[in-house]
Amino acid sequence: YPHERVEFIDFSPNEQYLVTYSPLPDPTNNNQRIIIWDIRMTAKKRLFDVEGSMVWPMFRWSHDDKYFARIVKDSLYIYETKTFALLEKKAVFVSGLKDFNWSPTDSIVAYWVAEDKDVPARVTLMELPSRSEIAYKNLFNVADCKIHWQKNGDYLCVKVDRYTKIKKEKNEIKYSGMSYNFELFHMRTKLIPVDSIVIKENIQNFALEPVGSKLAIVHGEGQNISVSFYNLKSGAEPVLLKKFEKKSFNHVFWSPTGQYAVLAYIGSAGGALDFIDTNDFHVMNSTSHFQLSDVEWDPTGRYVVTAASV
């Protein structure tokens, strides 16, 4: 894979393709700086240049390597790997487009657009290759959204930062009266219903159970941090299963196989760890790792590695 002075690389989910980036324009390829390679054939499939500032990875891939996409201004550029050309030879224009993310199991894109005067913010699910909208949710008083898929693609969780007041100071927008919604799309249920959880405290972290139907939210500040676990099963509103109160945690890490979770405080003054069995929410073990910086499960869910970076 000859590409001079490569600084970044990225693999497609099924490792059929490799993306390489070099800050040095290639004069033999119209000064393009990004190359997508067919790994097995070691062949260049498509070249791109970088427009403006770049966030790596530049492209996001569908679960099956059939599509890859990026945002260019108010448009979603979706390419198909069958031809490495734009799907239907045109981009998807979406005014106010902010971010998107692929389902980990289906050819579905979730994206959100910002509010514009009296037009609400909106989260939309689009199916490919038809480009059909299969679900959406309008949202008001939105400062920001974060899109998170459950590992199995059963749920889409959109964290919505909402405000009650907004003002501009020296060309900078400032929000106050913040609250937080978790919009939960039930992907395997007919018509994809959407439920909401409202938290009126600062959100430290949250995570969907990779295999299962639970959502864990770490919320609060200082000495009043809580960890709440909700059941998201379809056909009923989210149910609060357990709330651990007055804890010193700021992260939650689910086992890749579900059921077990590690609650952790990450930071220079941190290190607290609780191991939770969410079948009955008993604390299996409480321990600590001074100046904890990383927690990582092994793929089988049998072991957990904790580390402190120097």
pLDDT (tens digit, 9 = 90+) per residue, 177-186?
999 999 999 9
Which of 93, 117, 149 terminates a domain? The answer is: 93
pTM: 0.93
Same domain as 231, residue 185: no
Same domain as 186, residue 216: no
Same domain as 193, residue 108: yes
Same domain as 301, residue 289: yes
Query: Cα–Cα distance between 216 and 302 in angstroms, integer?
Result: 20
Quote the pLDDT of residue 233: 85
264 - beta bridge partners?
251, 273
Q: pLDDT-derived band of residue 267, with 50, 70 and 90 as boundaries? A: confident
Same domain as 262, residue 166: no
Same domain as 213, residue 160: no
Which of 176, 200, 224 terminates a domain? The answer is: 200
Reply yes or no on whether the pLDDT at 2 is more than 80.
yes
Return the residue matching tokens 């864990």: 216
How many structural domains comprise the chain?
Answer: 3
Tell me the CATH number at 238.
2.120.10.30
What domain range includes position 138? 97-200
Same domain as 209, residue 305: yes
Question: Interior CA angle at 189 toward 185 and 190, to 5°?
Answer: 110
Same domain as 302, residue 266: yes
Which of 200, 223, 252 terminates a domain? The answer is: 200
Structure tokens at 113: 């657009």
Q: How many residues would you count in the chain? A: 310
Same domain as 191, residue 158: yes
Q: pLDDT-derived band of residue 106, with 50, 70 and 90 as boundaries? A: very high
Specify the DSSP class assigned to residue 230. Answer: E
Same domain as 282, residue 196: no
Contacts with 140 (C-beta within 8 Å, 6 or more apart), sequence order: 115, 120, 121, 162
Query: Cα–Cα distance between 253 and 192 in angstroms, integer?
Result: 27
Structure tokens at 127: 């199916």
Same domain as 303, residue 222: yes
Query: Cα–Cα distance between 198 and 184 in angstroms, integer?
Result: 11
Quote the pLDDT of residue 223: 84
Mean pLDDT of the chain: 94
68 - beta bridge partners?
61, 79
Give kind and range of the element (H or E) at residue 50. Answer: none
Query: Cα–Cα distance between 113 and 131 in angstroms, integer?
Result: 17
Same domain as 186, residue 101: yes
Mean pLDDT of 100-121: 96
Specify whether the CB–CB gap between 219 and 225 falls below 8 A: yes
Reply yes or no on whether the pLDDT at 29 is more than 90.
no
Quote the pLDDT of residue 268: 78
Reply yes or no on whether the pLDDT at 288 is more than 80.
yes
Q: H/E/C letters for each residue in 99-158?
A: EEEECCCCCEEEEEECCECCECEEEEEEECCCCEEEEEEEECCEEEEEEEECCCCCEEEE
Mean pLDDT of 21-35: 82
Percent of the chain with pLDDT over 70: 100
